[in-house]
Amino acid sequence: KNEVEQSPQNLTAQEGEFITINCSYSVGISALHWLQQHPGGGIVSLFMLSSGKKKHGRLIATINIQEKHSSLHITASHPRDSAVYICAPNSGGSNYKLTFGKGTLLTVNP
């Protein structure tokens, strides 16, 4: 069983729509990262959170440690938001490994 499950795997939206991507994980963690990768491009770290909620521009990330669940929301989506969004929890301590979800491919149409 994959330790990190993301849903949906693919998401198509119209410009302006509210987007939600979900992430569930089975391991105990100290923090969780949300990452963005445009096709053929490098990875950008959007958020690192260990509790509660963070907001940056049109992006909001929430995490519920007890339920082992995190969500990434995009408000007023735009075609430039089209990318793969990856959830990556880490267990912290001396374990330097991130565990990556398979990613959600988001396409926002104009």
Which residues sit at the interface with other proteins, rule CB under 8 A? 30-31, 33, 35, 40-45, 48, 86, 90, 92-98, 100-103
Handedness of CA 93, 96, 100, 106 (dihedral sign): positive
The nearer residue to other proteins, 66 or 94, going by C-beta atoms, is 94
Shortest spacing between CB 62 and other proteins, in angstroms: 19
Determine the Cα angle at 60 with ends 54 and 65, to 5°: 60
The nearer residue to other proteins, 14 or 38, going by C-beta atoms, is 38
Which positions ≥6 away from 100 have C-beta within 8 Å? 4, 86, 87, 88
Shortest spacing between CB 44 and other proteins, in angstroms: 7
Contact assessment for residue 93 and residue 31, using Cβ atoms and an 8 Å cutoff: no
Question: CA 64, CA 14: separation in Å to the nearest integer?
Answer: 28
The nearer residue to other proteins, 17 or 65, going by C-beta atoms, is 65
Contact assessment for residue 89 and residue 31, using Cβ atoms and an 8 Å cutoff: yes
Shortest spacing between CB 76 and other proteins, in angstroms: 26
Shortest spacing between CB 29 and other proteins, in angstroms: 10
The nearer residue to other proteins, 30 or 75, going by C-beta atoms, is 30
